[in-house]
Amino acid sequence: MRVTFLGTGSAMPVSGRAQSGLLLESDSNTLLVDCGSGVLARLAETDVGYEGVSSVLLTHVHLDHVSDLMPLVKARWLVGEDDLEIVGPEGTEALVDGLLDVHDYMKDRLDISVREVGPHEFGIAGFDVMGYEVRHSVPTLAYRFTNELGESDLVVSGDTEAFEGLTDFADGASVLVHDCSFPDDVDVSNHPTPTKLGETLTGRDIDTVFLTHLYPHADRVTGELVERVTAHFDGEVKVAEDGMTVEF
């Protein structure tokens, strides 16, 4: 399995970081997870390109995770592709319907299929996925992905507070991509700070944790983020960067 970080930023722009999005590839399958502002341009820089992505999985419907969704629809139509599958938690159908109402000239340009999922098993783009409900201000799901051989699990947290239920869900995974929006000196809800994240990771068997969804406050102190998490967690911890590719 291979993950390319397309966007590691947040709702407050930071130079060099697009909003949330990552590209997941196996030997024969591709999937885009989230599609925030700037992600489409990053996707165009990959070998897969937007031509090669026919399925999008949303963690939730906040703007910084979906704002390039309609540009993706239009780009695929302009290059002659004819379909797009959009899957996500509660609110996904209303989001897509609303976007098409606003951009009504895009209706019927592509065969768009929309499906809502929850904290259960489902399939998308050839991947087996388990959803897990996390703690955010709107319905949000974390996802655990398994490759065709039933191994090399990847977990993507979505936007969430740090809590032990989620790190239990991720236990045993090769890679965990986790929200780390703010440093410890910011009083925040619906997102984690690194010390709280590290505490919930204590004793978990996860090879590598990638910190993402960085607000400017966190982007200025990335070394501190890693230090605070590794004070409690024995695995490898890295700060995700746009364009970074990880194979496992």
Torsion of CA 139, 76, 212, 233, to 10 degrees: 80
φ/ψ region of 150 (left if φ > 0, alpha if ψ in -120 to 50, else beta) reads: left
Place of tokens 């050839």: 126
> Could you list the mean pLDDT of each consecutive 10-residue stretch along the chain, which spans 248 residues?
97 96 94 98 98 98 98 98 98 98 96 98 96 98 86 92 98 97 95 98 98 97 98 98 96
Task: Give strand pairing partners of 24.
Answer: 3, 31
Q: Where are the domains of the chain?
A: 1-245
pLDDT (0 to 100) of residue 27 = 86
Helix, strand, or coil here: 143? strand
Place of tokens 């239990």: 168
pLDDT (0 to 100) of residue 150 = 73
Angle at 157 between CA 228 and CA 50, to 5 degrees: 120
Residues 6+ apart with CB under 8 A from 135: 160, 161, 163, 190
Measured over the CA atoms of residue 14, residue 53, residue 102 and residue 134, the dihedral's sign is negative
The answer to whether the predicted template modeling score (pTM) of the entire model surpasses 0.85 is: yes
CATH code for the part of the protein at 1-245: 3.60.15.10
Query: β-strand 175-179 against 154-156: which pairing, if any?
Result: parallel
Cα 34 from Cα 155, distance rounded (Å):
14
Cα 131 from Cα 233, distance rounded (Å):
24
In 89-227, DSSP assigns E strands to 111-116, 121-124, 127-133, 141-146, 154-156, 175-179, 208-212
Other CB atoms within 10 Å distance of the CB of residue 240: 24
Tokens of 88: 């996500």
Residues 6+ apart with CB under 8 A from 80: none
